[in-house]
Amino acid sequence: MTDSDRLEALCAWAESKGWHVDFSPHEDEAIGLTRTINIDSRRKPRQQVYALCHECGHVLDDECHRERLLPSEKYYSDTQVGRIAQIECEINAWRRGWSLARRLKLGLDRRGYTRAAVNALSTYIVI
């Protein structure tokens, strides 16, 4: 399976959930109000696949928000609890994105996906 095939499968999945995927030179994000997932078109195709898995993971995490350790309304507060809630949300999205990739049989490399997740998650941690 090529990265183009993987992106196509992920876009089809997102559309089946009522979300639109837009590839443009903007930051990766899932916007709940417009049900739009933005993926940075400047990334290499494999990195776009990892990012789209992650953003689809946010879609899935929003459907399962009751399972979170911290309430989702804490995610937006600029407090220690808010920052921890944000990290929890990001980790959940990476985990759910990996599960989705497996369910869709995308044949992704676990080590590559984990590396992308660690790189992204490290931006939330100040040492």
What digits encode the pLDDT tens for the residues 46-90? 999 999 999 999 998 765 455 555 555 555 567 777 777 788 889
3-state helix, strand, coil in the chain (%, to 5): 65, 10, 25
Name which of 27-36, 99-108, 113-122 the model is least confident about.
27-36
Name which residue leads in pLDDT, 77 or 27.
27
Q: Exposed (0-12), middle (13-18) or buried (19+): which is 40, by Cβ within 10 Å?
A: middle
Q: Is the domain defined by 3-124 classed in CATH 2.60.98?
A: no
- Determine the Cα–Cα distance for residues 109 and 10; give it in Å rounded to an integer: 16
